[in-house]
Amino acid sequence: MKDNMQKVSRIIIEGEPYLTFRDPGVQGMMKNGGFGHILRRLVLTDLNGLKGEFLACINFFDELLTSYSWKGNEETLYGFGETLEYSFANLLPHLPLRVEHIKEVFGHGSTCVAIEFNNKPDGFSEDRITYFIELKDSFFKTAQRIVFKNGMSKKAIRREILQVLLNELEENPDTFMRMENLQSSIPITTKELILNLRLLKEEEKVDFIMSPHSDPPKIVSVKIKSKGIKELEGDEGFPLQSNQVVKQVFGTNIEHLTTHGDNSPINISIGDIDTAFGNITKQVEEKDFEGKKEVLELVKELQEELTEKKDPQVVKGLMGKIKEKTAWVYNLVMANPVLTAYLTQLLLKNL
């Protein structure tokens, strides 16, 4: 079985890196009942790849009725053809799938978690083995809704491009990423991707190779540069969203924050913050690593600072300590939309 596996992408889930592989042996097989078929099966491994054990597998299904509305009118390679697995692999980090859960499912008779595109609302089945995704308009539009939850801002698009390129660099440091694979990894049109790549190259944040024989010249492959990595890590280029965050202050305490993106407002309460930290603390407690006790204490201090004292300088210091101790815990904080919205507003006070 491993001999037929094809490596797809390195991805980051819950702050941890994983490799995805395509299992071509099941493609096209019918779903039980005959009303849909497997589009792709992806296998998840640690960074040892096929030399180690499979951690989990995920089957991507469509339904007979939704298959007719899969393709839209956009000029893109996303979601089609022989590179469809790149679309699915890079969609995984944006779905509410906990690695521990899909590993647990796989441990019961090598069962694969199913991701099914149909007309049902997004969410898990009762047995939590199937995750339904409501296919709206087309797969392309549906993926945009999932990947760019807070709207397709220029910042969000740049960040997704740079993250995919960084994942590729970390897995294949000596090569450039093929343009076809990059196009298939991000739900934006080819025109949007080329425009953003050219702007990023002018800023010396990516490099790419052009085909000298095409008219007009075409980008063949792309690679992230050190300035792009710094931007992705927040050292430069990603200013806080001062125009997208509105603070509501009642008396002397911040009771709620309202963030305004391209879609509906998101109300954030202190209870939401406590819930977010509860989830992060649980993930940290589940892992064994050096300095775990100290990291848990730092996370607790950060939670207390955000909900009680709200000193921007102290918050910056605690975030820096967490990042220095364990980058993956720092990434968990920064990947949480509730905490990033709250942090944004708090830190803006000190600009």
Same domain? For 223 and 269 the reply is: no
CATH at 175: 1.10.10.10
* pLDDT tens by residue, 93-103: 999 888 999 99
Q: What is the DSSP string of 246-279?
A: EEEEETTEEEEEEE--SSS-EEEEHHHHHHHHHH
Same domain? For 225 and 250 the reply is: no
Helix (H) or strand (E) segment spanning residue 156: helix 154-171
* Residue 239 placed within a domain: no
* Residue 238 placed within a domain: no
Report in angstroms the alpha-carbon separations of 235 from 169, 232, 327.
Answer: 19, 8, 14
Domain count, the chain: 3
* pLDDT tens by residue, 25-73: 776 566 655 566 889 999 999 999 988 889 999 999 887 556 556 777 7
Per-residue confidence band for 268, with pLDDT thresholds at 50, 70 and 90: low
* pLDDT tens by residue, 112-144: 999 999 888 999 999 999 999 998 888 999 999
Same domain? For 109 and 6 the reply is: yes
Q: Which domain holds residue 98?
A: 2-147
pTM (2 decimals)? 0.66
Distance between CA atoms of residues 19 and 5, nearest Å:
12
Distance between CA atoms of residues 294 and 325, nearest Å:
9
Same domain? For 162 and 69 the reply is: no
Per-residue confidence band for 349, with pLDDT thresholds at 50, 70 and 90: low
Same domain? For 95 and 182 the reply is: no
- Work out whether strand 113-118 and strand 56-63 pair parallel, antiparallel, or are unpaired: parallel
Kindly tell me if the per-residue pLDDT of 261 is higher than 50. no
How are strands ordered across the β-sheet holding 253-259?
A: 245-250, 253-259, 266-269
Kindly tell me if the per-residue pLDDT of 87 is higher than 90. yes
Same domain? For 10 and 138 the reply is: yes
Same domain? For 19 and 109 the reply is: yes
Closest C-alpha among 48, 60, 102, 117 to residue 84: 60
* Residue 103 placed within a domain: yes
* pLDDT tens by residue, 187-227: 999 999 999 999 999 999 999 999 877 777 899 999 999 99
Q: What's the full length of the chain, in residues?
A: 351
| Residue position matching structure tokens 């698009």 | 157
Distance between CA atoms of residues 280 and 250, nearest Å:
28
Distance between CA atoms of residues 151 and 259, nearest Å:
12
